[in-house]
Amino acid sequence: MEQKYISFTSYVNSNTTQSFSFNFSSFFFIVVQFSQFPVPFSMESLISLEGHIQAFPSFSSKPRTTIPPTQLNTYRENSLFSFSLRAQVNPNEGSTTIATSSESSESVVEALKVKEWEVGMFQNEVAANQGIRIRRAPPTGPPSHYEGPFQFRLQIEENTPRNILEEIVWNKDKEVAQLKERKPLGLVKKAVENAPPVRDFIGALRAANGRTGLPGLIAEVKKASPSRGILRENFDPVEIARSYEKGGAACLSVLTDEKYFKGSFENLELIRNAGVKCPLLCKEFIIDAWQLYYARSKGADAVLLIAAVLPDLDIEYMVKTCKLLGLAALVEVHDEREFDRVLGIEGVELIGINNRNLETFELDISTTKKLLEGERGKIIRERNIIMVGESGLFTPEDIAYVQEAGVRAVLVGESIVKQNDPGKGISNLFGKDISV
C-alpha cells in the first residue's frame, strides 16, 4: 500500500483557537507523538483525547478540529508538552483536499529534518544535565515536514524563549544557519587565509597589567544592549576605538550582534583596517564552530564562549579550534557550577566572570569576589589563568574591588562608551591616566 501523508499545522497560543478543516473518507491511522515517543492510535482514540484536544471529523461535509484555549492553558501549565499528529492515508480508500506527498526523496529529506530536530532535543537534555538552562531548540519547533495534518504545534514552553539570553541564542541559530548557507565553511576558511595576522590578546592583557599594576582593560565598543537600550547615539566605532587606544586600553571588545546590540562585523573590520593596534575580541554569541572561522576571517584576535550556552564538549572543541586559528578564547562564567565546569576543560587560559546575570540582567560585582574565593582562586593562580571581571564596573573603587578579588583584567562597556571622550572615560574609571 502506498502511503501518503497529509498534513496541517497549527501554531496556537493561549488566546487563540485554531480550527482545521479536512475532507476525506479513508481508512487511516494516526500517530500521536508526545515528545519523542510515538503512540499509534485510531481516530476514535483521537476523539477520546477529550479534555485536551477535541477532533470532530466528518467524512461528508466540512469537519472541524478545535483546540479550545482553556485546554491550551492546561498545556502551558504542563510544561514541556509537545504534541503532534501525523495521518497516513490509504489512497485507494480516501482522498484529501490537503496537499499530499508520496514516500519519496522529499519525505526522506523531511525525515532527516525530523531526526535533526530530535537530535537537538537530545542535545538539550545533555546540556540540561550539565546545569545549562539555555536551550538550543529553535523557536520553530519541529521542522516543517512534521507540520502535517493532524499535527499540532502549541505555543508552549518548549517553543517560547524563557529569557533574553535564550531568545538571543535561538535567533543566532537562525542567523548562523542562513549565513552558513551563503558562506559555507570552505569559503570562510579561504577568507581566513587572507585575514590580517592574529595578535596576542592574552599577551596584551598581561603586558598592560604588568605596566600599570592595574587590571588590563578590554574596552567595549557597544552601541546598545538589551538591558540598557541605546548607550550612545552618535556612534562611530573607529573613533571610539581610537579614543580607547589613546586612553590606555589593552584590548577592545567589539559587539557584532546586530539585532540586540546594534553591532556588526563591519564595525569589527573597520576597526581592524583602521590600524588600531589593540587586539580585538569579537563579542558575539557563539553557538557553532563555523563562527570562529568567520570571526577570524573578519580580523578578530579573540572570541567569547559563554558557558551558560555551550556544553562542555562544545567549549573543549571550540577552545581547540581557537588554538588552531591563533584566537584567544575568553570563556565566560556567571556562577560556581559554570566555573567548575570550565576549570575541568583542558586548555582554557582566559576566564571571564560576568557580574551580570544574562537571564535576569541583575548586576552584582560581588559575583567576581564570590567565585574567586577559596579553592577556585587557588586553582586559577596555580594554572596562571588570567581572570577577567566583566560588567557593572563604573568607578576606581569597583576596579580596586575586583582586582582585590583576583582579576588581572576587566571588560568594561557602559561606563566608558557613554562618555563624550571615551578615552578620558578610562582615566575616570581607573582614577588615573593609564595611557602609554
> Contact residues for ligand LARABZUK (CB under 6 A)?
164-165, 220, 222, 225-227, 354, 356, 358, 361, 390-393, 411-415
Q: Dig out the grid coordinates for 289 from the structure.
A: 564552530
DSSP label of 351: E
Q: Give the nearest distance from C-beta 290 to ligand LARABZUK in angstroms.
A: 21
Residues pairing with 9 in the sheet: 151
Are the C-beta atoms of residues 208 and 325 closer than 8 Å to each other? no
Q: Give the nearest distance from C-beta 350 to ligand LARABZUK in angstroms.
A: 14
Calpha distance 280→271 (Å, rounded): 9
Are the C-beta atoms of residues 65 and 55 closer than 8 Å to each other? yes
Q: Give the nearest distance from C-beta 347 to ligand LARABZUK in angstroms.
A: 23
- Name the residue nearer to ligand LARABZUK (CB basis): 317 or 361: 361
- Name the residue nearer to ligand LARABZUK (CB basis): 148 or 352: 352
Q: Dig out the grid coordinates for 351 from the structure.
A: 576566564
Q: Give the nearest distance from C-beta 304 to ligand LARABZUK in angstroms.
A: 9
> Residue 295: which H helix or E strand, with range?
helix 290-297
Q: Give the nearest distance from C-beta 233 to ligand LARABZUK in angstroms.
A: 16
Number of H helices, E strands in the chain: 16, 20
Within 201-258, residue ranges assigned H as helices are 201-212, 237-247
Angle between helices 237-247 and 422-430 (to 10 degrees): 40
- Name the residue nearer to ligand LARABZUK (CB basis): 311 or 389: 389
Q: Give the nearest distance from C-beta 40 to ligand LARABZUK in angstroms.
A: 44
Calpha distance 297→289 (Å, rounded): 13
**How much of the chain is in helix, strand and coil states, percent to nearest 5?**
40, 20, 40
